Chains A and B, each alone.
Chain A
Amino acid sequence: MSSYQLILIVIAALTLINLATLGWVALLQKKLRQDNQAVSSTQKDLNQLKQEAHNVMLAETLIELESSANQSIQGIFDKAAAEFTTSLQKASAQITEQMQTGASQLVQQELEQYKETLGNLREAASGALGQINDALEKQKATLTADLEVEVKKQQQVLIEKFENKISDVVSAYLVESLGNDVDLGAQSQYLFKMLEEHKGELKQEILGGEPEATTG
Chain B
Amino acid sequence: MANPKQLPDSIYSPEQLEACQMELEQYLGWRRRQDTRKKVGATTKAAEPFLLSPEMSDLLGMTEDAAMLSTGELEAWQTRLADWLKKPVVHLTFAVPPTVGIKADMVKWFRKEISPDILVRFSINRNIIGGLVVRTTGRIYDFSFRKQFLAHQNLIPEILHRV
Contact = CB atoms under 8 A, between A and B. Distances in A.
Bound together: yes
Contact of A195 (B130, B134, B138, B142): B134
Nearest to B146: A171
A3 interface: no
Interface residues on chain B, size class? 35 or more
Contacts of B96: 180-182, 184
Interface of B: 88, 90, 94-99, 101-102, 105, 109, 113-115, 118, 126-127, 129-134, 136-143, 145-147, 149-150, 153-154, 156-157
A180 B97 contact: yes
Residue among A175, A182, A184, A211 facing the most chain B CB atoms (10 A cut-off): A184
B88 A207 contact: yes
A202 B129 contact: no
Interface stretch (A70-78, A81-89, A186-194): A186-194
25 contacts: A167-B146, A167-B149, A174-B145, A175-B95, A180-B96, A182-B96, A184-B99, A185-B101, A188-B102, A190-B143, A194-B131, A194-B141, A198-B141, A202-B113, A202-B114, A205-B136, A205-B138, A206-B88, A206-B118, A207-B88, A211-B138, A212-B139, A215-B139, A216-B140, A216-B143
Nearest to B159: A170
A203 to B, nearest CB: 5
Given A184-B99, A207-B115, 9 more contacts: A163-B153, A166-B157, A170-B149, A187-B132, A191-B132, A192-B105, A205-B137, A206-B114, A206-B115
When A and B form their complex, which 9 residue pairs have the shortest distance between CB atoms, in order from nearest?
Answer: A216-B141, A194-B143, A216-B142, A206-B88, A205-B136, A182-B96, A211-B138, A191-B132, A163-B153
Contact of B141 (A174, A180, A215): A215
A33 interface: no
Given A175-B126, A187-B131, A211 B153 contact: no
A151 B97 CA distance: 43
Given A175-B129, A203-B114, A206-B114, A185 B99 contact: yes
A182 B95 contact: yes
Nearest to B133: A216
Contacts of A187: 130-132
Contacts of A202: 90, 113-114, 134, 136, 141
A216 B133 CA distance: 9
A201 B114 CA distance: 10
B99 A199 contact: no
Given A180-B96, A207-B114, A216-B147, A167 B153 contact: yes
A186 to B, nearest CB: 9
Contacts of A195: 109, 113, 132, 134, 143
A214 interface: yes
A175 B127 contact: yes
